[in-house]
Amino acid sequence: MEKLSLVVEYETKPGALVEFLAIMQSHAKACLVEEPGCHRFEILRPLDESGDPIPNRVMASEMFTDQAALIAHRATARWQALAGKFKPLLISRRPILNQFLD
C-alpha cells in the first residue's frame, strides 16, 4: 500500500483547548523526529465562514509512508500515553484514514 493520510477531528471540553494544543504540538514534533515513517504532522484550527476559529475544535493532518508506519506510530509508548492525557480534555475524537489518489 502507498502513502496514507490520517485526518483526526477533535472537540475539546470547554477550557481545555490550550492544554490540548500543548500536548498535541509536543506529540507532533516527537513524531516527526522519532518516526521515520511519519512525513507530516500538522495541527490545524478549523475556521467558520467568517474566518474565526471554531471554538474547541482542532484537527490533525498526518501522512505516513504506509500501513506499517501507521501501525508503528500507534504502537509507540508516547501514542499509548496520549489516551490517558486526552480523556479529561476531549468530548470527541474522529479519525479518518485516507488513501492518496493520483
Q: Each residue's pLDDT tens digit in the chain (102 positions)? A: 589 999 999 999 999 999 999 999 999 999 999 999 999 999 999 999 999 999 999 999 999 999 999 999 999 999 889 988 999 999 999 999 999 887
- Collapsing DSSP to helix, strand or coil, 39 comes out as strand
98: its cell numbers: 485516507
pTM of the predicted model as reported, rounded to 2 decimal places = 0.91
Distances in Å between the Cα of 58 and the Cα atoms of 38, 55, 75, 93 are: 20, 9, 23, 10
The sign of the CA dihedral 75, 33, 36, 46 is positive
Amino acid, res. 34: E
